[in-house]
Chains A and B, each alone.
Chain A
């Protein structure tokens, strides 16, 4: 019971410090970039071209990891760098509760932001008057209603696939950077290196090593439901030689990896000694 209460307190603390932080501002800017691009592109190209293109290359490969890393790396590292972690670790609380609580808040924040980003891309790309500067105000207000209509017109499953993939991406990458923060001081740089150097490398060379990257599974969500994005993927020469999973398969595997990494991190934080160099 106390464990849950601590976790709740910790998640509230994290939520408050996140909401007021400069990090979140950067994340919001990051999240809005693809939406803005999709909006401007909306007038020039058809939504079925824009959504997979921006969704795949910008949202899933760049924006989702960046937002999740920025938010997730604050879970342990921020307290450690500010050296406020002492106040929590010298209280009768379970350290794992600290980690889980803060991770929960971060995950919620990053998921919301990434989902907004990908949903925004769909909305902006499909909005009838997108890309035109002289739109009228009332049209915007009616936009949400119309969007539902237009999303229905999109090829089947494209919207759900992209949103599902971005939710999963946010959850995964947040844990990765938070978990790295448990074990290493420079979590932010390490997770940047991991996602963009290691994973970018693994995901874009042919062969079964792709299965070691999160990106690979995210692609499964898109191709499984939508032929259009599958055709985009097949245009990338590096991706030949591997077959993607179906969405449920991908989800199970990711869930398994997630639980293992979560367990390792939770155990790690209970046993690791944190040096606060003064």
Chain B
């Protein structure tokens, strides 16, 4: 598959402050989560992607174009910015229609597309009211509507879930999933990692202006071999189970938490552990109540990498 984004040696400084440093990354079509701590260079990368800025060094191609003020690229790109800014004197429908007209559509088409997009974000009842009366969640959804209304090939969304209440969060996540399923590529940055993970396994992790990891979370976790995998077990007879588990060659340690009766296992080979466990469990019949391995999540990977 041809990558939609290709950055080679990408760097960007703000005076003496570094935003991005020698970033090499190729992003394939589909949904990609862009994660990293505050000030890591995520926003800089987003701004470079949508052509708000030019790189200081290196090269960047988005859908085969250099992004800065490139009209060809903007035909196929939708951008949902982070800032909570809209034209307050317009109605939601006027705003999205206006954006569509800038994408060189005639008035009728633009209005039809805008209406459809606003319906998809559940703003059909509010779209004829001025934006100034919208709540934060409605503003987020309006921003989102203008990003995908013209059916772009690639949508870039910077923190699109901030300020949304759980109901709206739920709807917006579903919408992203749908867009992804319909073949649109998405690049989404977010601080709420489990939401990113519920959307996509593929991430790009930026830290201190550098690329720290990319690819499916599970694969990234595999690469972190110096951290043994942790498994939490709860059982009726934890001591017997722990004894049995410690006999497995790949089990590193077993710790029993007296207060809760939780058993924490560290293993060097998680696959072997999972495939050995059923046999062991049915042999010892120690009454396992729950089995969870939390440190394969994006949260855990993020912690290991960023520290």
Contact = CB atoms under 8 A, between A and B. Distances in A.
Nearest to B14: A275
A90 B147 CA distance: 10
Given A20-B89, A90-B77, A95-B69, A278 B43 contact: yes
Contacts of A20: 89
Given A84-B86, A273-B53, A274-B52, A89 B69 contact: yes
Interface in B81-110: 81-83, 85-87, 89-90, 98-99, 101-104
B54 A273 contact: yes
A93 B102 CA distance: 7
B85 A91 contact: no
Contact of B103 (A92, A94, A271): A92
Contacts of B43: 278
B119 interface: no
Chain A contact patch, size range = 20 to 34
Nearest to A9: B101
B82 A278 contact: yes
Interface in B103-132: 103-104
A16 B89 contact: yes
Nearest to B70: A92
Contacts of B52: 86, 89-90, 273-274, 276
Nearest to A13: B98
Contacts of B79: 86, 90
A22 B79 CA distance: 30
Interface in B1-54: 14, 43, 50-54
A270 B69 contact: yes
Contacts of B101: 5, 9
A92 B53 contact: no
Interface string B64-79: 0000110110110101
Contacts of B72: 92
Given A20-B89, A91-B74, A91-B99, A278 B53 contact: no
A91 B102 contact: yes
Interface in A245-278: 270-271, 273-276, 278
Given A9-B98, A88-B102, A93 B71 contact: yes
Nearest to A97: B102
Contacts of A271: 69
A6 B102 contact: yes
A90 B83 contact: no
Interface string A226-251: 00000000000000000000000000
Interface of A: 2, 5-6, 9, 13, 16-17, 20, 82-84, 86-95, 270-271, 273-276, 278
14 contacts: A5-B101, A9-B101, A82-B85, A86-B50, A86-B52, A87-B81, A87-B99, A87-B102, A87-B146, A89-B51, A89-B52, A90-B52, A91-B74, A91-B102
Given A86-B52, A92-B74, 4 more contacts: A13-B87, A83-B81, A86-B81, A87-B81
